Structure 1
Amino acid sequence: MFIFEWLNNQLLKMEWLSNMVKILVEQVLGLNVQERLGGSIHFFIYDVVKIFLLLSILIFIISYVQSFFPPERTRKILGRFNGITANILAALLGTITPFCSCSSIPLFIGFTSAGLPIGVTFSFLISSPLVDLASVILLASIFNWKIAIAYVIVGLVLAVVGGTIISKANLEKYVEPFVYNNTIMDVEEDLTTKDRVYYGKEQVLEIIKKVWVYILIGVGIGAAIHNWIPENVISAVLGQDKWYSVLLATMVGVPMYADIFGTLPIAEALVLKGVGVGTALSFMMAVTALSLPSMIMLKKVVKTKLLVIFASLVTIGILIIGYAFNAFGYMLM
């Protein structure tokens, strides 16, 4: 137990990095980390370096594994199953695709055009931006493993339930006709180890290029919340005792666009200020799963009725998850 805790603190929470940044801020910059400016700089440098380090390592590992499952092979695997089993597999597949919601939509088009039921592809579409292995590790590094695992479970349940409801509702006619005429592109399956390593490196660079701005913005907002906004102000608006906190956090998150890696530092800062875990996670989930740009992109491939049903199901799911975490989250802390 002691060894696991030590590894968790040093490898995931990177306490050694926090100590190094503290020395940098105090001895090199001459600032006190207990004060606002010094604390903000410490928070920013520490979180940025930690997230980029963990993200690069995890994306490489995930991409290496993913190289064994090109789209056509994945479609064939999912095509062997039907019903809720297919929804579960699609949701699990989403966990090994470290993409934002906009990046997931081309795969959604490919899977649908390849003949997979739309409910199955929606399970993938919900799960992919919401729950991935990299975000689980980052959640554990910021909060703890109990919260990270609980988040994964409820995220997968939301993806499976949402996809299953859409399947049962027979909404195929609300997918734009051109989607069914697309062809899914396959990639070479016989890759050498060198090819897979190269693919992993390319994925790291590609994803980092897409998310680095959001990470910097997210960490910057987190640093401001953590060190400059008084706790009583945040509690007055988003305190755990406020019945509307989860609803407000979800509504605020929807118009924004970022991925889960950019929202994690904000969630961390909110929780440190006394905001309920459920409220912070609701904000994070709304940004990643219901962002306005992703809704605009999805509108190009599905009709309004299906888009409204999808958004409503995900919103209701996020609200339920948020209130549940606020009610029972203390058991996970």
Structure 2
Amino acid sequence: MTADEQLEPHAQEAAMHSWSETLFIFGALFVELVALFLIVGFVATLINRRVGDKRLQAWLGGGRIVAPLKGVVLGAITPFCSCSTIPVLVGLVRAGTPFSACTAFLISSPLLDPIILGIVGLLFGWKIMIGYGIVTFILTVLISLAWERLGLERYVKKVRVQGSWNPDTPWAGLRAEAGPAWRQTTSAFRPMILPMVIGISVGAVIYGAVPQTFLTTVAGPGVALAVPIAALIGIPLYIRMESALPVGLALSSAGMGLGPIFALLIGGAGASLPEVSMLTGIFKPPLVAAFVGSILTVAITGGLMIPLIA
């Protein structure tokens, strides 16, 4: 038996392990995202119903500048990952919340919540964490104002949800409201299923197939465009908040610079492929492209600034 013949079973076993690991990642992500959407969507629907559309519009309104500021604050105090932001966004859109407030919430929710700020602080230090928070806050407000100025609201799809209440009907109590809230949540979820499956499938294959050495090669020391490349790579990887810290530490120990690591983590946390796919159920392509471009702007800006601060 030749050396190649001896190695062939091991190669086949490694390939099978890779595919089995990819299938496991797909299944785990699918279950997690479905549960997140339904649970978060159900709770958000009940809250929207209890608060009322008119009161929600008043809370998140208040003028051209104040509305996005309120949207950023709402995003910062809600510890949601990028995908669990979607059901809340659906509720805000359905309630007629100002467009600038919705977009500010969409961008800030996964990027400014306490968990991601804590991870940035642990990886890069408290000075960078504060700088990141300030810069991201400002960029989010500016991006929301730019979207409004460009008239991108016309690219929001009409969110049709079966089982919606009459906004003038008074709150009837949790037991009476739970059934309609669940039907509305599942109705809003149906258009998201196919985009979610597509996004998770691509992300799982890339996550399972892309070795760490590839990341350090294309976005490591000496690569001129390491920061933007790392930001682009982060999107299909879907780096969840709970795995961002070990991923960042592993890449740092492998020799990747702080700037590319930051861009990779922010790109993955802010605009994961499953989230982008699910957004196609709410936004038309130009607005989806604007969202991805905005997250990349935040990731690249931060990645370029970190070496200067550090």
Say yes or no: TM over 0.5: yes
Q: Aligned Cα RMSD in Å?
A: 3.6
Task: Please identify, of 270-279 and 102-111, the stretch whose mean Cα deviation from structure 2 is larger.
Answer: 270-279
- Out of 274, 295, 301, the position equivalent to 1:314 is 295
- Out of 48, 71, 84, the position equivalent to 1:103 is 84
Amino acid of the structure 2 residue aligned with 1:313: S
1:329 is the counterpart of 2:309: yes
- Out of 247, 266, 271, the position equivalent to 2:228 is 247
Q: Deviations over 1:62-117 (max 9, x none)?
A: xxxx99xx543782553341212221221121111111111111111111221222
Q: Distance in 1 between matches of 2:162 and 2:121?
A: 42
1:156 is the counterpart of 2:133: no
1:295 is the counterpart of 2:281: no
Q: Deviations over 1:242-299 (max 9, x none)?
A: 2211122112111122322212221223234443322111101111111111011000
How far did 1:180 drift?
A: 8.9
Amino acid of the structure 2 residue aligned with 1:271: S
- CA gap 1:321/1:137 in 2 versus in 1, 3 angstroms: closer
- CA gap 1:294/1:236 in 2 versus in 1, 3 angstroms: closer
Amino acid of the structure 2 residue aligned with 1:178: V
1:83 is the counterpart of 2:46: no
How far did 1:308 drift?
A: 1.3
- Out of 132, 137, 157, the position equivalent to 2:113 is 132
Aligned partner of 1:24 in structure 2 is none
- CA gap 1:289/1:234 in 2 versus in 1, 3 angstroms: closer
Scaled by the length of structure 2, the TM-score of the pair is 0.62
How far did 1:135 drift?
A: 2.4
Aligned partner of 2:250 in structure 1 is 269
1:238 is the counterpart of 2:189: no
Amino acid of the structure 1 residue aligned with 2:246: P
Aligned partner of 2:8 in structure 1 is none
Aligned partner of 1:166 in structure 2 is 147
Q: Distance in 1 between matches of 2:161 and 2:99?
A: 11
1:118 is the counterpart of 2:118: no
How far did 1:141 drift?
A: 3.3
Deviating beyond 6 angstroms after TM superposition, the runs of 4 or more aligned structure 1 residues are none
In structure 2, stretches of 5+ residues that fail to align are 1-42, 174-203
How far did 1:305 drift?
A: 1.4
Q: Distance in 2 between matches of 1:235 and 1:322?
A: 15
Q: Distance in 2 between matches of 1:274 and 1:131?
A: 27
Q: Distance in 1 between matches of 2:130 and 2:164?
A: 36
- CA gap 1:185/1:298 in 2 versus in 1, 3 angstroms: farther
In 1, are the aligned partners of 2:226 and 2:260 still within 8 Å (CA)?
A: yes
- Percent identical among aligned pairs is 28
Q: Distance in 1 between matches of 2:154 and 2:215?
A: 45
In structure 1, stretches of 5+ residues that fail to align are 1-65, 191-216
In 2, are the aligned partners of 1:112 and 1:179 still within 8 Å (CA)?
A: no
In 1, are the aligned partners of 2:228 and 2:300 still within 8 Å (CA)?
A: yes
In 2, are the aligned partners of 1:113 and 1:182 still within 8 Å (CA)?
A: no
- CA gap 1:183/1:329 in 2 versus in 1, 3 angstroms: farther
1:177 is the counterpart of 2:177: no
